[in-house]
Structure 1
Amino acid sequence: MTTDHHTQTTHHVVIIGGGQVGLSFALLLAHQGIRSTLIEQFCYPTISPDDDIYRSEYLDSRNTALSRRTVQIYTEIGLWERMQSHACRIDGVEISELGSFGRARLDKAAEGVESFGQVMENAWMGRQLLLAVQASELICLIDGASVVDIRQDEHSATVVFDKDGQTQEVAAPLVVACDGRDSISRNILNIGADSHDYGQVGIVGVVQTDQPHRHIGIERFSSVGPLAVLPLTDGRGDGADGTTQGYRRSVVFICKTGEESRYLEDDEYFKQTLQQVFGETAGRFVAVGRRGAYPLSKVLAHRQVVGRCVIMGNAAHTLHPVAGQGFNLCLRDAHALATMLGENIRRQPDYDLGHHANLVAYEQARQKDQKRVIRFCDTVVGSFCHPNPVMKFARNVGLIAFDKIPGIKPLVASYAMGLKS
């Protein structure tokens, strides 16, 4: 589908990649009065605001943990109101290791916050983002299009793409590529990247337990692998009243590469493994849905700006999911760039969106937040996935220290909520 745009503004950005980051960035630009053309490789489904809003599959979902800062950003652009009906807040987080003495807990009341974030299914989130983009006069959607080249000169950047067997071009002062971990744009722009294969597969799905989740997220570590269970809304509610007690939870289970088949194919084995890892912490696992498997790797681009082009999202930094920080970091990048562009336009109406020095300034300004999150993820993966008994003892002592020493929890909670950058 292609949505025509009608606008008076001359400021224009081409976005490559229409996943959650690309769609969000287009909406952030529109909030600043900047029009964009969004090019997506896959064809979007046909949806309407009048479609049934309830889930067709109770136990079939991928999901994203949204930090408080992410919720603030979507609220700022007027999108959260339409998203929040299918968001489940996180009131507390419990962290422990199977068969060990270390325990830690974050509680919203103790930290004086409304929540630590929200969990939302990707299908619902993507639907709301796409509906908002389709409704915007400042955004032109071109889906089913494959980018084949990016050219730059002194005044503009041109994206060359194939659609319906025809080669087409679109030019703008600025191109932002959000086309994922295996970014074609990154390769076209000759941006190198450091890649590390964790030798792990993330198994993602939805489970049901016999006890309500009470809006608690649980992070559990074991010899099998790290596992996270987060609260989800029920089919027609968020678990906040007597009719929707919230027995539905998302699960992210990490296993070694090559071991994923049995967890994917054997429902009973998967349930038994979850029960073994969790004990009675979450109650009994009574049902599991269809799972997806995703090889895990870390990819860090050497640069994020080349001339009039910026790479963003997983194209710039793909992280391990164990800490739930990847998408939230990407959205903070998108918000920072859109805000910078908008402020510059308001100061200088004929501002060049692709001004290289300013794009480099954006890249440098985001390095502190990016490095902090990358370091945090590496620490979690390195310390909690190490089988050495000395490391195991040290991390359990660390969990107790985290739980007992004053001043540590508020700092870590602020980082996890995306409120410090």
Structure 2
Amino acid sequence: MTSGNPQTLDVAIAGAGPTGITLALALKAELGPSLRVTVFDPALGRTTARDARASMIAADGRALLERIGAWPDDAAPVAGLRITDSGLDAAIRPIFLELGEARPDGEPFAHMVSDAELRARLAERARAEAVGLVAQPIESHAREPGRVRLRLADGGEATARLLVAADGAGSPLRARERIPTYAFAYDQTALVATLGHEAPHGGVAVQHFLPGGPFAMLPLAGNVCSLVWSERRSEAERIAQADDETFLREAERRAGPDFGRLSLAGRRGAFPLRFVLARRFVGSRFALVGDAGHVVHPLAGQGFNLALRDVKALARIVAEAARAGEDIGSDAVLGGYESARRFEVASVAAATDALYRLFAAPGARGLRDVGMGLVDRAPALKRRIVTAASGL
């Protein structure tokens, strides 16, 4: 790709994470091999360690990943969710809310998927579908009539009718577009790991709301769980720096007796938690998807599901425009994407933040436990929650 002969694209995507590659494949699935789509990311040229994280993917996200041929074979169904709210060393942790009902069609409302396995499957499909993959960052972009001109770090150039930022929470492209955000840091860090355990999990996800933050054990295949442990920043730093044995004993203290002895089955990681919500999701021939547009607290497991719904909406709207002979990067087309996503994203972001603050407030425990108890005794409401969580 040289400045003298820039590549001509329909869609350029910045960011080769799961969101960016899924979008490229979804566009290919909608519009066929003639669609010219390329993903730009310097990370494509690097060897990275296996990610310690896993994602809980709702039913609509599963349908999207199956359609593009990227559903991992080892995805583990989530048969239910148990929520407790107690002190750290409480002898008994009563279950205040339990969701264990499948959707009306009998399918589980979610699956757990290893991020490493998902990335590998997406990379395999991207190669098979001839998605362009360029290991260079987009250094700058400028509008020209009917297109965006991209300049790469190596001096290469490309043009595209639509530029999409899937380049993460600190999106350089969003910053260049001068799209403001509402953003702040939580006083929490997420500790993540893949853990083996003695007792079977039965496919049930468990989330303990503890004084330091939510502690979730999310079922993977076999006697293995993905740990997502949100802890106060100072305490999280201490635990993150501890040796493996200390880490496991601290995790066992929070997990309680149900899982038995814990062991590490993969890498550990730690990620500071923050809230980010872009004030708008589109610009001139420009759109945000995934973390580039919104980052929410992980306590409800909605981050990647929101990203997949961004992908689904943008791919559908772009495909409809292309089939109708419209300009896929026009303000009218991208305004449809903004309208399709703005309300749900803002609603989920606000609700997730409100849940975090409710469970972080020491004096609100009685109120929240009464509320969870009322929901637990209302089967119709629980079915509606499961349906909503599935995204269908």
TM-score, normalised on structure 2? 0.90
- Correspondent of 1:140 among 109, 112, 132: 132
Matched residues in 1 for 2:103 and 2:126: separation? 39
Contact 1:181 1:314 in 2 (8 A): yes
Aligned-pair identity in percent equals: 31
Task: Note if 1:75 corresponds to 2:66.
Answer: yes
Task: Note if 1:251 corresponds to 2:243.
Answer: no
State the SS of the aligned residue for 2:108: coil
Contact 1:102 1:399 in 2 (8 A): no
Contact 1:102 1:397 in 2 (8 A): no
Match of 1:18 in 2: 16
Q: Show the 5 A alignment for 1:108-257.
A: 108-109=101-102, 113-137=106-130, 139-143=131-135, 145-162=136-153, 166-233=154-221, 246-257=222-233
User: What is the CA-CA distance between 1:44 and the residue it aligns to?
Assistant: 4.1
User: What is the CA-CA distance between 1:379 and the residue it aligns to?
Assistant: 2.5
State the SS of the aligned residue for 1:114: coil
Matched residues in 1 for 2:103 and 2:59: separation? 16
CA shift in 2, pair 1:383/1:111, >3 Å: farther
Match of 1:408 in 2: 381
Match of 2:42 in 1: 41
Matched residues in 2 for 1:129 and 1:78: separation? 8
Matched residues in 1 for 2:63 and 2:204: separation? 21
User: What is the CA-CA distance between 1:367 and the residue it aligns to?
Assistant: 1.6
Contact 2:9 2:159 in 1 (8 A): no
- Correspondent of 1:352 among 312, 324, 327: 327
One-letter code of the match for 1:334? V
- Correspondent of 2:283 among 306, 316, 325: 306
Task: Note if 1:262 corresponds to 2:253.
Answer: no
Gaps of 5+ in 1: 2-9, 48-55, 234-245
State the SS of the aligned residue for 2:44: coil
One-letter code of the match for 2:119? G
Contact 2:82 2:97 in 1 (8 A): yes
After superposition, give the CA deviation of every residue in 1:291-328 in whole Å (9 maximum; x if it has no partner): 11101100111111111111111010011111110111
Matched residues in 1 for 2:44 and 2:388: separation? 36
User: What is the CA-CA distance between 1:110 and the residue it aligns to?
Assistant: 8.4
Matched residues in 1 for 2:265 and 2:96: separation? 27
User: What is the CA-CA distance between 1:358 and the residue it aligns to?
Assistant: 1.6
User: What is the CA-CA distance between 1:67 and the residue it aligns to?
Assistant: 0.9
- Correspondent of 1:399 among 362, 372, 383: 372
User: What is the CA-CA distance between 1:72 and the residue it aligns to?
Assistant: 0.9
One-letter code of the match for 1:42? A
Match of 2:344 in 1: 369
User: What is the CA-CA distance between 1:284 and the residue it aligns to?
Assistant: 3.2
User: What is the CA-CA distance between 1:11 and the residue it aligns to?
Assistant: 6.9
CA shift in 2, pair 1:131/1:287, >3 Å: closer
User: What is the CA-CA distance between 1:227 and the residue it aligns to?
Assistant: 0.8
Matched residues in 2 for 1:293 and 1:153: separation? 42
- Correspondent of 1:66 among 51, 57, 71: 57
State the SS of the aligned residue for 2:234: coil
| Matched residue count | 377
Contact 2:197 2:263 in 1 (8 A): yes
CA RMSD for the aligned pairs? 2.2
Matched residues in 2 for 1:128 and 1:354: separation? 29
Matched residues in 2 for 1:216 and 1:122: separation? 19
One-letter code of the match for 1:35? R
Matched residues in 2 for 1:112 and 1:24: separation? 26
One-letter code of the match for 2:108? S
Matched residues in 2 for 1:112 and 1:142: separation? 41
After superposition, give the CA deviation of every residue in 1:14-64 in whole Å (9 maximum; x if it has no partner): 1111111000000011112232011012134689xxxxxxxx99xx83211
Match of 2:248 in 1: 271
